[in-house]
Amino acid sequence: MELLIISITGGVLAGMLGGLLGIGGGILLMPILRLIFGLSPACAAGTCIVAVFFTTLGGSFRHYQQGHINFRSISTVIIAGAISTTVFSLIFIYFTKKGRWLDLGTGLVFSLVSVRMILEGSLDLLRKRIQEPEGSEIRGSRIGKAAIGSLAGILPGLLGIGTGAILVPAFVFILKAPIKIAIGSSLACFSVNALVSSTLKLFQGFVNLELAIPLCIGTLAGSNIGAVLNKRFRSSVLKIMFGTVFTYVSVKYILLFFEG
Domain that holds residue 69: 2-259
How many percent of the chain have pLDDT more than 90?
21
Residues in Cβ contact with 54 at an 8 Å cutoff, skipping those fewer than 6 apart? 15, 216, 219, 220, 223
Quick one: angle between helices 41-65 and 179-204, nearest 10?
A: 140
Find out whether 85 and 196 touch, Cβ atoms under 8 Å.
Answer: yes
Say how far apart CA 245 and CA 177 lie, in whole Å: 20
Residue 125 Cα to chain centre, angstroms: 25
pLDDT of the residue at 73: 95
Band (pLDDT 50/70/90 cuts) for residue 185 is very high
Of the candidate ranges 49-63, 167-181, 201-215, 239-253, the one whose mean pLDDT is the lowest:
239-253
How many folded domains does the chain comprise?
Answer: 1
Whole-structure pTM value: 0.76
pLDDT of the residue at 109: 65
Instruction: Kindly tell me the burial class for residue 86, based on how many C-beta atoms sit within 10 Å of its own C-beta (0-12, 13-18, 19 or more).
Output: middle
pLDDT digit string, tens, across residues 131-147: 555 567 898 999 999 99
Most confident of 18-27, 87-96, 118-127, 188-197: 188-197
Say how far apart CA 97 and CA 100 lie, in whole Å: 8
Residues in Cβ contact with 194 at an 8 Å cutoff, skipping those fewer than 6 apart? 24, 49, 50, 52, 53, 56, 156, 162
DSSP string for residues in 14-46: HHHHHHHHTS-SHHHHHHIIIIIS---HHHHHH
Say how far apart CA 121 and CA 104 lie, in whole Å: 26
Q: What is the mean pLDDT of residues 227-237?
A: 74
Find out whether 114 and 232 touch, Cβ atoms under 8 Å.
Answer: no
Count of other CB atoms within 10 angstroms of residue 34 = 16
